[in-house]
A and B are shown apart, each in its own frame.
Chain A
Amino acid sequence: MKTLMTGDEAIARGAYEAGVRHASAYPGTPSTEILENLATYKEIYAEWAPNEKVAMESAIGAAVAGARSMVSMKHVGMNVAADPMFTWAYMGVNAGNVIVTADEPGMFSSQNEQDNRNYAKAAKLAMLEPSDSQECIDMMKAAFELSETFDTPFVIRMTTRVCHSKSIVELSDRKEVPLKEWTKNPAKYVCLPAMAKNLRVKLQERMEKLAAYSETSPFNRMEMGDPSVGVIASGICYYYAREVFGDKASYLKLGFTHPLPAGLIKEFCSKVDKVYILEENDPYIEEFVKQQGCDCIGKELFPYTGEMTPDVIRACVGGKMPETIEFDRSKLIRRAPTFCAGCPHRGLFYRLGKRKDIMISGDIGCYTLAASKPYSAMDSTVCMGASISLGHGAQRAFNLGDSGRRVVTVLGDSTFFHTGINSLINTVYNKSNTVNIILDNRITGMTGHQENPGTGFTAKGEPTTLISIEKLVKAIGIQHVYVIDPNNLALVDETLDRCLALDEPSVIITRWPCALKKFSQADKEEFAGMFSTKNKVDQEKCIGCKACLRTGCPALSYDKASKKARINHAQCVGCDVCAQVCPKDAIVKED
């Protein structure tokens, strides 16, 4: 059957067809939909892990015990998962194992644009790079077969445009793969130095076998046309190159990209007049080609940063640029993403941003938007879970001076479970005095509503043990824990005052659900009456001071003709944050 799929959907489909039994992941754009789709296949056990390291270890365990398994993550997730991954490469598999990384050239939804092909090289893992959705399916199936043949985990490296572009795929039936037998084998699975030394030698031998296989892989192929230009490209760059050069070039399309096929590359370079290497971010292929003694043109002409889209290639090679319509750009207004109407982060950050004498150590999630106007309530963001630990270090440094400056850290519920919990243990153990705010909106919000250990449901939607953040932080040893409704601005202020007055660490849990969440029965009982009312502006009382607009709610607007504020009925969910800042009590409930 023929259908349209995104790369993410196709990766899940390929896993299904390959007989995968076990999948684990932590959400992260652009990889999230891989596990969401895996969870829809009844034949596959699919789980959200609290972080990528745990997900990797879960998949390793399943493969060792005999079930084909996989783990998927965004590019920065691989940093978290790298510790087990490097040693997993030494051990080799029992049942097949695939590690999917979704990189983000152009940084649409990420804090950096690291090129994870370097990880395959550094960890000595075999790697495939699909260019479209059909290749996602084909490569997943091939990767599981090859993983078992060569006794190695496989990396599949995607990029945003492969993950989130749809193209036509042909679906096949699932191949049921029986569980492999597990036998005790410490020489393979216990990486003590004595064992690891042997495994290291085997790993090198395996890489040589894989290098020989790469020469013959059907995913590496020459497409000879006009020999005046030769293009070497992998992933989406292959299609970008095809778009620009069409039949006026020859191509070496690389899909099996670690180890790279040295012989094939040398043969291709000898057949064409000049060679362009088209790859996003790092000169991964280029350095290898140059190492083989082949002349090629790479990063001296094409950029290191951003996407290598057809327009970028065209501009670099001096091609004819399409004619475009010029217009008056001063007429454009900015349209940045923003907190939704009823977002529980609004009340907290509206008040937190008013405190100019503190440092706010932030984290990764929707709430990172608080860095922008009108809140300007974030002073640092590095990576998942860093808010609490970076804040601890900053507080220690401030305490060395005489500024008296205090540090407030903020992170979400899912981010707390991810790695924030380790950071909080450090804060308690090392006697810090930071104020730590956990934004418990009852879901993983930014990536589009995935369950997490605090929601009470699994990735498959089954009820499970709900881990209480409040009990957890108390168990760690936090003596001052406050659970508050962040829509109550007076309570936000009062709690912040109380915690900032302490010389010990404290935790404030702002507990109110994401306004877009599909509410569970437990949510409906705990947050009775939530989002059931709507507000309006009493046009008689409104003096047009715009105080409400500064809460940054998209349901509010200012009517220039009447010089009064208005509330969009369809968008308002009655959170009352704007009503609390109105100096004239002009914002009231609709009748």
Chain B
Amino acid sequence: MTKSILLVGVGGQGTILASKILTLGLMEAGYDVKMSEIHGMSQRGGSVSSQVRYGDRVMSPVIEKGKADIIVSFEKMEALRSLDYLKPDGVLVVNNEEIPSMSVITGEEDYPEDVLDEIKAHVEARVVDATRMAAELGNEKAANMILLGTIIKSMGLEHIHWEKILEDNIKPRFLELNKKALKAGMEAV
């Protein structure tokens, strides 16, 4: 049975590294894996998403609406935007982070205050203060590893040797921070 993981956020939040680590771990564990990303215009402050699918044999690299087993959103508004991709009984993890878009900055529209309420009205979302937790660990950029940790725990993937994958793919000076962040994420859900 193919499982589908959707990572969403804003360009620059580190979704690509998180999904890279995730897919390498899944491959090491013997799964067939496919991942799809859209590059290009989206890098310049736009919405970004990484779609990861794994199982015995994966066909489509893209996730259909209503088919994601888990969505991990690096930003509140992006969680709401992607909500129709979630299975009705799927897991939603939201980083409690608000990033204004250009239309908000220039005053064309307001960032609604009740985004989390709107999400919670439909699903049992797990809200994680990943950015704050990462800052406390030493660097808020490690929020992506905290959120990866929530995926690992939620999908029951703790048996994979994640520390080894991190060692092979993270620069030595950031390694300890990332290991701590991953562990903190697994404990946060």
Residues on A lying within 8 angstroms of B by beta carbon are 2-4, 29-30, 108-109, 132, 160-161, 164-168, 236, 239-240, 242-243, 309-311, 314, 321-328, 331-340, 366, 369, 373-374, 446-448, 546, 549-550, 552-554, 556-558
Contact = CB atoms under 8 A, between A and B. Distances in A.
A309 B36 CA distance: 12
Interface in B76-97: 77-78, 80-81, 83-88
B62 interface: yes
A314 B81 CA distance: 22
Contact of B118 (A327, A333, A369, A448): A327
A331 B114 contact: yes
Interface string B87-118: 11000000000001111111111111011001
A121 B107 CA distance: 51
B35 A448 contact: no
A337 B42 contact: yes
B29 interface: no
Contact of B102 (A239, A336, A448, A558): A336
B41 A337 contact: yes
Nearest to B140: A570
Given A335-B10, A558-B107, A309 B118 contact: no
Given A161-B62, A309-B64, A340-B44, A168 B32 contact: yes
Given A311-B65, A340-B44, A448-B43, A333 B109 contact: yes
Contacts of A340: 44-45
Contacts of A3: 27
B40 interface: yes
B103 A333 contact: yes
B180 interface: no
B35 A374 contact: no
A335 B47 contact: yes
A335 to B, nearest CB: 4
B161 to A, nearest CB: 16
Nearest to B58: A167
Interface string B22-49: 0110010000111111111111111100
A29 B43 CA distance: 12
Nearest to B19: A166
A165 B44 contact: no
B171 interface: no
A549 B84 contact: no
Given A334-B103, A335-B10, A546-B107, A166 B34 contact: yes
B14 interface: no
A130 to B, nearest CB: 13
A366 B46 CA distance: 13
Sorted nearest first, the 10 A-B pairs with minimum C-beta distance are A109-B40, A322-B66, A243-B60, A337-B44, A337-B46, A165-B61, A324-B66, A335-B101, A29-B40, A242-B59
B123 interface: yes
A132 B38 CA distance: 16
B103 A325 contact: no
Given A327-B80, A557-B105, A161 B36 contact: yes
Given A327-B80, A335-B81, 11 more contacts: A4-B35, A108-B41, A109-B39, A165-B34, A166-B35, A239-B60, A321-B66, A327-B83, A334-B109, A336-B102, A554-B102
B67 interface: yes
Contacts of B102: 335-336, 338, 373-374, 552, 554
Contacts of B110: 333
20 contacts: A3-B27, A160-B38, A165-B61, A166-B34, A236-B61, A309-B62, A322-B67, A324-B66, A325-B83, A325-B86, A327-B83, A331-B112, A333-B101, A337-B44, A337-B46, A340-B44, A373-B102, A552-B105, A554-B102, A557-B100
B80 A4 contact: no
A141 B103 CA distance: 48
Contacts of A369: 44
A310 B61 CA distance: 10
B173 interface: no
A30 B80 CA distance: 28
A374 B101 contact: no
B60 A242 contact: yes
Contacts of A311: 64-65
A339 B108 CA distance: 17
B122 interface: yes
Interface string B139-165: 000000000000000000000000000
A4 B36 CA distance: 12
A373 B40 contact: no
B106 A549 contact: yes
Contacts of B23: 4, 166
A90 to B, nearest CB: 35
B84 A326 contact: yes
B84 A325 contact: yes
B65 to A, nearest CB: 5
A166 B44 contact: no
Nearest to A307: B62
Contacts of A558: 105, 107
B59 A239 contact: yes
Contacts of B78: 335
A457 B58 CA distance: 41
A333 B111 contact: yes
Contact of B65 (A322, A328, A448): A322
Contacts of B37: 164-165
B34 A167 contact: yes
A374 B45 contact: no
A166 B23 CA distance: 9
A369 B45 CA distance: 12
A64 B62 CA distance: 41
Contacts of A239: 59-61
A109 B23 CA distance: 25
A165 B104 contact: no
